[in-house]
A and B are shown apart, each in its own frame.
Chain A
Amino acid sequence: LAKTTQPISMDSYEGQEVNITCSHNNIATNDYITWYQQFPSQGPRFIIQGYKTKVTNEVASLFIPADRKSSTLSLPRVSLSDTAVYYCLVGDRAGGSYIPTFGRGTSLIVHP
């Protein structure tokens, strides 16, 4: 299973763009990259998944370089409600047995 490394914590201010980078040097060919968000006292919530290049949805963008050894979650114009822990996951979704495997995540604090 590919191991991920991400910063333990980050601070930002309302209205700024936040980029959280995750390193996954031993990512396998069939692995997908997925990001989750978790608020205090709640279960994690899926944000976005991708395989290569760029993926964008209504919440965030995910940038994946050609070598796929890292990925960056981009949150545009954050607000106080984006304060949460963000997890980067890497795994193979084929074969019916994708198992979400979480590291310690990045604690993002957005200041007024």
Chain B
Amino acid sequence: DVKVTQSSRYLVKRTGEKVFLECVQDMDHENMFWYRQDPGLGLRLIYFSYDVKMKEKGDIPEGYSVSREKKERFSLILESASTNQTSMYLCASSLEGRSTEAFFGQGTRLTVV
């Protein structure tokens, strides 16, 4: 069974903290993505990666960075968390060039207080 696993389901952090959200996939997929989802706004792309050590900015990269040191792992970093980064964060992965099917993790609900 294919799987995308996010390290935490719920997370509460303080303003100014450095926050790491981890995502691991076991399908040997080349592409990985980070989205955030807010009520009424749908899913918005933060960053994506199509290979190890490669990254591309999505629609809303400000305040975030990413790391992909291994093919199966894609980390989202909030350098200095702020309350407007309170959101549901979703990680996804997909195969290169063969399908429009992406596999999503269960999401991390982050609250910044």
Contact = CB atoms under 8 A, between A and B. Distances in A.
A62 B34 CA distance: 27
Interface string B73-113: 00000000000000000111010111111111111010000
Interface string A18-35: 000000000000001010
Interface in A90-112: 91, 93-105
What is the predominant secondary structure among interface residues of chain B facing chain A? strand
What is the predominant secondary structure among interface residues of chain A facing chain B? loop
A96 B97 contact: yes
Interface range for A: 20 to 34
B42 A105 contact: yes
B99 A93 contact: yes
24 contacts: A32-B100, A34-B100, A34-B101, A41-B109, A42-B104, A42-B107, A43-B91, A44-B43, A44-B90, A44-B102, A46-B103, A87-B42, A91-B100, A93-B97, A96-B30, A96-B50, A96-B97, A97-B96, A98-B100, A99-B45, A99-B48, A100-B100, A102-B44, A104-B42
Interface of B: 4, 30-31, 33, 35, 40-45, 48, 50, 58, 90-92, 94, 96-107, 109
